[in-house]
Amino acid sequence: MKSAIEQRQIQLAQMEIEKYRSIVESDPYRLSYHLMPPVGLMNDPNGFIHWNGVYHVFYQWMPFKTGHGAKFWGHYTSCDLVHWKLEPVALAPSEWFDKNGCYSGSAVDNHGLLTLFYTGNVKDEDGNRHTYQCMAVSENGIDFVKKGVVVTLPDGYTAHFRDPKVWKKDDDWYMIVGAQSESLDGKAVLFRSKNLTQWEYLGAIAGGKQKQLGEFGYMWECPDLFELDGQDVLIVCPQGLKAKGMHYQNVYQAGYFVGRLNYETAEFVHGSFTELDRGFEFYAPQTTLDAKGRRLLIAWMGVPDQDEEKHPTIQQRWIHALTLPRELRLIDGKLHQVPVEELQKLRKNEIAYTNVTVANEEISLEGISGNVIELKFDIHQLEGMIEMQIRNNARLIYHHDERVLTLERKSFVNGLTEKRQCRLEHLLSLHIFLDTSSIEVFVNGGEEVFTARLFPYPSNHSIVIAANGKCIFDITKWNL
Ligand code: FRU
């Protein structure tokens, strides 16, 4: 059973949902098919799992304000990754080991029990941070009982030690934790267990000043480690990387290393760091393996400390959302992300044009418009520059000669144009998902992805295509 304090916390959060329901629901920027909080602030996805035929996504949740604080675990379930149901709160801060927040973590199936691992965040009377890796279990996947602390802080690290991701390999359980060493380098730290309650510290498998890395940020958050196509992929969110050309443009980064983990020696030999997303808002991704054998990823469509207090939805008592679930593939050592195929269920009113030519002009095509739509744009021929203007708020621009793809948007802070870019040898296709206040662009079958929040005038649904030079393409649109 939950403690009286935890029950009371959950009751207060529930009251907050009821109190502001109509305000949140009347927001024109309220998302139509992305996960967002019922009220308050949502950040990282947690405990992503396909369990007994049901997909579960928990999320970091602050019900009482649109800022960060003592986090709860909110909870959504789905049978198809498309239609989601808001479930009762899974965890609320309440005990000595998590009183200032049930921070990020993961879920596994342990002999039929849905078992969560999360970070208990604690601030003592002097304002010092303490961290505990904790466990909670559920028989029905809805009601969770806390089992307390399973991992305490090992020597050599500061209390910035959090976000346990747990998985099974052969007969052993492994846990990877995001950490900061006492020398203030970001690290990913590995543990092993036979029973999920006693954990053996194996060491930092990757981090700043380790192997070929050199300085690589002062903290690594939200690690995830999994096997894909015969390789081991380590996802981490380093904080403290300096912007470098088109890279590391956001306040904090989310990316991965591909390599090989020796589970015996806990040595991870890996290549260089690659960003997962090239847009403005993407952080703290988490993956799971589903019953179909797919490696799925979902992320926070936000970045900590990146103009969060300027989001227009704050007036409507909510902030942030999660990305679409995506399927991962490793192609030539690079992660590709494609939206899960189940999303096709949302398609209505298909409108398609084939072999459209735009040459030194801008056009809009009858029926190719909307605010909650999916667009497929396939290029047959391109000379010069092609651009797509979206709702008079964002532009996707590809310069073939410079081999650069750009996403521009009007900043929600000051209305000025800001951009994110990546190098791209050829632009072959764009697969775009627009929601009332978001965009996800999958480039060339997921070779690059741009994820961002957009806040256009709600009534503007225009899509304009322009070419400086010549472009021949097919385009299909569905309302979602
Ligand atoms: C990442 C993060 C995690 C932490 C959680 C707190 O956004 O800072 O490291 O567990 O958010 O909400």
- Mean pLDDT by groups of 10 residues along the chain of 480 residues: 97 98 98 98 98 99 98 98 98 98 98 98 96 98 98 98 98 98 98 98 98 96 98 98 98 98 96 98 98 98 98 98 98 98 98 98 98 98 98 98 98 98 98 98 98 98 98 98
Kindly report, residue by residue over 112-164, the tens digit of the pLDDT: 999 999 999 999 999 999 999 999 999 999 999 999 999 999 999 999 999 99
Report which protein residue has its CA nearest ligand 1's atom 9: 221
Q: From the alpha carbon of 304, which atom of ligand 1 is closest?
A: 7
Q: From the alpha carbon of 222, which atom of ligand 1 is closest?
A: 9
Distance from residue 222's CA to the centre of ligand 1 (Å): 7
List beta partners, residue 309. Answer: none
Distance from residue 25's CA to the centre of ligand 1 (Å): 26
Report which protein residue has its CA nearest ligand 1's atom 6: 103
Amino acid 101: pLDDT: 98
Distance from residue 68's CA to the centre of ligand 1 (Å): 9
Distance from residue 104's CA to the centre of ligand 1 (Å): 6
Amino acid 181: pLDDT: 98
Amino acid 302: pLDDT: 98
Residues with CB under 6 A from ligand 1: 43-44, 60, 71, 103-104, 119, 162-163, 221-222, 283-284, 304
Distance from residue 89's CA to the centre of ligand 1 (Å): 18
Distance from residue 46's CA to the centre of ligand 1 (Å): 10
Ligand 1, pocket-test mutation among 41, 59, 60, most atoms within 8 A of CB: 60
Q: Which two tokens stand for residue 5?
A: 């304090």
196-199: long-range pairs with CB below 8 Å, 24+: 196/108, 196/110, 196/115, 196/135, 196/150, 196/166, 197/135, 197/147, 197/150, 198/150, 199/133, 199/150, 199/151, 199/175
Ligand 1, pocket-test mutation among 72, 162, 165, most atoms within 8 A of CB: 162
Distance from residue 74's CA to the centre of ligand 1 (Å): 14
Report which protein residue has its CA nearest ligand 1's atom 8: 221
Output the CA torsion sign for 262, 268, 269, 270. Answer: positive
Q: What is the pTM of this model?
A: 0.98
Ligand 1, pocket-test mutation among 221, 281, 303, most atoms within 8 A of CB: 221
Q: From the alpha carbon of 283, which atom of ligand 1 is closest?
A: 7
Distance CA 344, CA 362 (A): 29
Amino acid 396: pLDDT: 98
Q: From the alpha carbon of 103, which atom of ligand 1 is closest?
A: 10
Q: From the alpha carbon of 163, which atom of ligand 1 is closest?
A: 10
Distance from residue 204's CA to the centre of ligand 1 (Å): 19
Q: From the alpha carbon of 300, which atom of ligand 1 is closest?
A: 7
Distance from residue 67's CA to the centre of ligand 1 (Å): 13
Q: From the alpha carbon of 68, which atom of ligand 1 is closest?
A: 12
Catalytic residue numbers read 44
Ligand 1, pocket-test mutation among 71, 73, 103, 158, most atoms within 8 A of CB: 103
Kindly report, residue by residue over 457-466, the tens digit of the pLDDT: 999 999 999 9
Amino acid 37: pLDDT: 98
